[in-house]
């Protein structure tokens, strides 16, 4: 049984209507890739086995074209390859590439000079990292544009960003299509603002929370860049939002009071582990829950725990073709 039918079978006790599936091309879909480096090759782990490679067909074509060139440059330079253990790639819709090289050594001036030369040679931005050190050849932010209203969005080399370039904008459109009778939105795990920014054009006000410092900086930069004035952002974890609603005061809220909002919807996009009991208690108060999940197992567990709500709309997005992974976008409403 394939992963779609398996999920629909597990879902059947909660939802019996048709579940649409949004497919991705099976190759060249990843705009974000991370590799180890060993024995003059990129490496990936498959169970207990290490795989050595010089190309990766799942990566965006711009990354595929760069990978052998980058590897050749690295392998020809003892300065660059010494104690190098990780190589990461990110690209945007304009094919601009950000490469990160991570080292197990103290980075010296000679390595920095060498990397600056490679950045110019290959026409790419490079960030080099080691413990408590970072150097960027240009900007640390990779800017992109969403199809929806041409909104600008930013990511760094070490924060989460939706990896499938073919499905990203489809997912945003689907969330927007799920919205009816919007007032204010509260969002947990908002990340860099992938959904926050488009939804700010749908809702009167958005209260967006995110605990990751790098993602939060990207969100604030995007708010400023797009001249958005109805997103109120706070660097809070999901469990801190529970404490906030229980009456705890946070200096990180500034002058904003959660009591000033009239929330019609809450959006949650948690990590693969799903929701904590505190978060389930928090979201159960809201009439409309937009639940985005990257784990069918934790999603089904959480929805069953949310006995006060039922699934009204749900679609699947095959972010990682040829794997067992699935992305779920759903609308839960109070019974």
The set of catalytic residues is 294, 327
Using alpha carbons only, give the angle 150, 151, 154 rounded to the nearest 5 degrees: 130
């Amino acid at each position: 049984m394939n992963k779609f039918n398996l999920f629909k079978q597990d879902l059947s006790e909660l939802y019996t209507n048709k579940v649409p599936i949004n497919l991705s091309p099976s190759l060249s879909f990843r705009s974000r890739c991370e590799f180890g480096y060993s024995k003059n090759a990129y490496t990936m782990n498959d169970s207990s086995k290490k795989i050595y490679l010089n190309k990766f067909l799942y990566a965006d074509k711009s990354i595929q074209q760069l990978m052998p060139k980058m590897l050749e440059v690295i392998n020809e330079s003892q300065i660059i390859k010494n104690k190098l253990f990780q190589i990461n790639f990110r690209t945007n819709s304009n094919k601009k590439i950000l490469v990160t090289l991570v080292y197990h050594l103290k980075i010296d001036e000679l390595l920095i000079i060498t990397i600056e030369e490679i950045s110019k040679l290959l026409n790419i931005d490079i960030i080099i990292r080691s413990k408590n050190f970072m150097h960027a050849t240009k900007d640390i932010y990779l800017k992109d544009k969403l199809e929806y209203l041409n909104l600008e969005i930013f990511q760094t080399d070490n924060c989460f960003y939706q990896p499938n370039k073919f499905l990203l904008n489809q997912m945003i459109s689907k969330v927007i299509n799920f919205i009816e009778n919007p007032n204010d939105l509260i969002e947990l795990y908002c990340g860099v603002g992938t959904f926050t920014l488009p939804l700010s054009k749908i809702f009167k006000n958005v209260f967006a929370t995110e605990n990751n410092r790098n993602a939060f900086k990207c969100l604030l930069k995007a708010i400023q860049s797009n001249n958005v004035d109805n997103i109120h952002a706070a660097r809070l974890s999901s469990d801190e939002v529970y404490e906030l609603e229980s009456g705890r005061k946070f200096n990180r809220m500034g002058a904003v009071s959660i009591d000033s909002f009239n929330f019609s919807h809450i959006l949650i996009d948690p990590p693969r582990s799903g929701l904590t009991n505190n978060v389930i208690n928090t979201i159960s108060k809201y009439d409309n829950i937009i639940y985005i999940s990257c784990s069918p197992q934790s999603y089904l567990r959480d929805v069953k725990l949310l006995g006060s709500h039922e699934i009204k709309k749900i679609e699947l997005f095959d972010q990682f073709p040829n794997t067992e992974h699935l992305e779920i976008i759903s609308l839960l409403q109070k019974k």
